[in-house]
A = this chain, B = another copy of it.
Amino acid sequence: MEPYIHKVRYYECDRMGVTHHSNYVRMMEEARIDLLDRLGYGFERMEADGIVSPVIAIDVQYRKSTTFQDEVAISLKLLEMSALKFKFGYTMTVRGQVVCTAESTHCFLREGRPVSFAQCYPELAKKLQQD
Interface residues of A (CB under 8 A from B): 9-11, 13-17, 20-23, 25-26, 29-30, 33, 42-44, 52, 54-62, 65, 68-69
Contacts and interface: CB of A to CB of B under 8 A. Distances in A.
Contact of A16 (B30, B52, B57, B60): B52
B11 A20 contact: yes
A61 B54 contact: no
A29 B21 CA distance: 10
Copies in the assembly, this chain: 4
Contact of A22 (B15, B26, B56, B65): B26
Given A56-B62, A62-B56, A15 B26 contact: no
B22 A11 contact: yes
B62 A60 contact: no
A22 B14 contact: no
Contact of A59 (B13, B15, B23, B58): B58
Contacts of A13: 14-15
B21 A55 contact: yes
A62 B66 CA distance: 26
A16 B69 CA distance: 15
Contacts of A69: 42-44
Contacts of A43: 10, 68-69
